[in-house]
A and B are shown apart, each in its own frame.
Chain A
């Protein structure tokens, strides 16, 4: 049982490039979340999903997109990367709403 896996671990992008951060969970959780963590700050919710085919915006969705075609996968797409998107990105999942969240190891993204 791998839990929540994220790829890549590290990435450097140039301004204006795009990329997809991958997130997969093998716990059959319905709820999945994407957060960003900036230095000295807590986690800010970017997007979340309550099940396959259903996604919604979180606190800081601008510049990002998501899709949820399967229960297992919840990729995060960055279009036209900007320096303000330099951050550590965490994917998480939970079995039910308001329940414990299980986090992936994170993707450290730098936009230059």
Chain B
């Protein structure tokens, strides 16, 4: 079975500062890793994903994440935060077996201060 842990339920940064949202996973087989973003009163939408290949993955809105197998991590970063980045972010892991069900972290709420 797979699991995912997001460190920090709330992260606050100033506009223009680095954004770092942490995600660690557990999986007995090679994982597929995802970051989703949820804006208020909306469904989740994909930011980026890692399946195979290049371990540094670039997504929408300037976000990127690096798959580090040795650290079982998939942290999300953005060099310079915008006010529009304020949202809830979910890390998810799935494996290509067992119907490919995804397991989601509890989410991290990102606040961006002017």
Interface residues of A (CB under 8 A from B): 4, 31, 33, 35, 40-43, 45, 48, 50, 56, 58, 90, 92, 94, 96-106
Q: Across the interface, do A43 and B104 meet the contact criterion of CB distance under 8 Å?
A: yes
> Of B37-45, B61-69, B73-81, which binds chain A?
B37-45
B interface bracket (residues with beta carbon within 8 Å of A)? 20 to 34
Which residues of chain B have a CB within 8 Å of any CB of chain A? 9, 32, 34, 36, 41-46, 49, 90, 94-97, 99-102, 104-107
Q: List 6 A-B contacts (CB under 8 A).
A: A42-B104, A42-B105, A45-B102, A48-B101, A97-B97, A101-B102
A106 to B44, CA, bound (A): 9
Is B90's CB under 8 angstroms from A100's CB? no
Residues of A with C-beta under 8 A to B46: 100-102
A31:B90 contact, CB within 8 angstroms: no
CA distance A92 to B96 in the complex (A): 18
Bound complex: CA A43 to CA B107 (Å): 9
Known contacts A31-B100, A106-B43, then 17 further A-B pairs from the complex at CB < 8 Å, ordered by chain A residue: A31-B99, A33-B102, A35-B104, A40-B9, A42-B90, A42-B106, A43-B90, A48-B99, A50-B99, A90-B43, A94-B100, A98-B94, A98-B102, A99-B32, A103-B44, A105-B41, A105-B43
Q: Please give, as numbers and ranges, the residues of chain A lying within 8 Å of B106 by CB-CB distance.
A: 40-42
Pair B104/A98 contact, Cβ less than 8 Å: no
Residues of chain B within 8 A of A58, CB atoms compared: 101
Chain A, residue nearest B46 (CB): A100
Complex Cα distance, B4 from A43, in Å, reads 12
**Chain A residues with Cβ under 8 A from B42's Cβ?**
105-106
